[in-house]
């Protein structure tokens, strides 16, 4: 599957990673869908991953990797120290910084940007809560907060979906003029 096809799939998925056309027959997302390795690498000749000053591929991959980083920290399998006060800030990461520069971009539907800002902030709040639980020695509760059906995972899927939708909105402005 190409990166563009993967983005299309994400743009039409609901918040649990299911396709929206047949919600009654869809099943909950698998653990493989939570792993960043299901995000194909853009290939040469593929559509560009950077539009409007954001590398959408990197933004999506970075947010997908957070779950594994958090699990490794909670399980004591990482030397990384995460400060919940820093992780909880949505303006520190590349996506958060980009969002602050996009006020009034007429190429993006305002409701999409508002939803992305809200979901992105919520994502950081939930990630910080996982760290707080772990820091308090509540490791099982922290791991439960990372389960596929937990709010963190659903929020992560919504961030990916919104980024995919915004990518397609922006890409409409970068198409060659077909009237020539």
User: CA-to-CA distance for 48 and 68, rounded, in angstroms?
Assistant: 27
Domain boundary assignment for the chain = 3-172
Q: How many other CB atoms are there within 10 angstroms of residue 173's CB atom?
A: 12
User: CA-to-CA distance for 164 and 91, rounded, in angstroms?
Assistant: 20
Convert the pLDDT of each residue in 118-139 to its tens digit. Answer: 999 999 999 999 999 999 999 9
Can you give the C-alpha Rg of the chain in angstroms?
A: 17
Percent of the chain with pLDDT over 70: 76
User: Model-level pTM greater than 0.85?
Assistant: no
Whole-number average pLDDT of the chain: 81
25 confidence band (pLDDT: 50, 70, 90): very low
């Amino acid at each position: 599957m190409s990166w563009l096809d993967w983005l299309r799939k994400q743009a039409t998925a609901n918040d649990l990673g299911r396709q929206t056309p047949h919600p009654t027959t869809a099943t909950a997302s698998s653990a493989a869908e939570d792993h960043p390795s299901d995000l194909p690498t853009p290939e040469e000749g593929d559509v560009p991953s950077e539009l409007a000053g954001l590398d959408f591929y990197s933004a999506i991959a970075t947010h997908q990797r957070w779950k594994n980083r958090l699990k490794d920290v909670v399980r004591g399998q990482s030397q990384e120290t995460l400060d919940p006060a820093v992780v909880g800030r949505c303006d520190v990461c590349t996506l958060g910084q980009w969002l602050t520069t996009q006020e009034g971009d007429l190429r993006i539907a305002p409701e999409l940007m508002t939803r992305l800002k809200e979901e992105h902030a919520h994502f950081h709040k939930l990630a910080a809560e996982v760290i707080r639980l772990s820091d308090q020695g509540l490791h099982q509760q922290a791991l439960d907060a990372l389960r596929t059906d937990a709010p963190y995972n659903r929020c992560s899927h919504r961030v990916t979906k919104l980024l995919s939708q915004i990518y397609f909105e922006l890409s409409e402005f970068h198409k060659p003029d077909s009237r020539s």
